[in-house]
Structure 1
């Protein structure tokens, strides 16, 4: 059972290393009135040092800018066996591999 936990942790690291991320540099337009945070894609302002999740994007705001990474791996990044498919739970921002022939049974990458 311990080897399964190690495998899941390693899979998580692979996913994090291959996540789609973007960085939006902070632009200071007026030196007399510097920004108090970052503005996200929806136009909402977030304070420096804040972190949030929106549509399975984990985002953070620093004085350098806005940084977001997709929390759900792209199926093109993970090597999925032919008999399996990846199911995404957007509410929990999680994935699992299931058999194509029986979606109630999880698939193993080994």
Structure 2
């Protein structure tokens, strides 16, 4: 096995481990053509095509087309976890891809957040 193939396999394993070690990320499988050739582009489920290295944001996920035809996506927002859940609630704004934490009995008033993930 050539050094380039070993390096390629190591890079794929590392990319897989990084993507799956963070619960806020996911990676798609490449779509092989009928000849089972390694793809030269990335295809989303809706048919949208991206070239290797392309980056975009969709549904609050930052995505990137990586070889061999995989799409890697991670959340582009932080998830507040350190707040008083009895008195407060978190609400996700899909327009800004962000959470606000507000009081349940007075939604106009925000709550203190001590920690977040993502």
Paired residue for 2:26? 22
Coordinate RMSD, CA, aligned: 2.6
Correspondence for 1:61: 65
- Within the alignment, does 1:43 sit opposite 2:47 as a pair? yes
Shift of 1:51: 0.9
Runs of 5+ consecutive residues of structure 2 not aligned to the other structure: 1-20
Give SS of 1:42's match. Answer: coil
Q: How many residue pairs were aligned?
A: 91
Verify: 1:86 aligned to 2:95, yes or no. no
Gaps of 5+ in 1: 1-16
TM-score scaled to structure 1, two decimals? 0.66
Structure with the larger RCO, 1 or 2 (CA within 8 Å, 6+ apart): 1
Q: Which residue does 1:102 correspond to in 2?
A: 106
Larger radius of gyration: 2
1:37, 1:95 → 2: CA distance? 33
1:18 to partner: Cα distance? 5.7
Aligned in 2, Cα 1:19/1:108: closer, same or farther, shift over 3 Å? farther
Is the 2:62–2:75 contact (alpha carbons within 8 Å) kept by the matching residues of 1?
A: yes
Residues 99 and 89 of structure 1: is their aligned pair in 2 closer, same or farther, counting only changes over 3 Å?
A: same
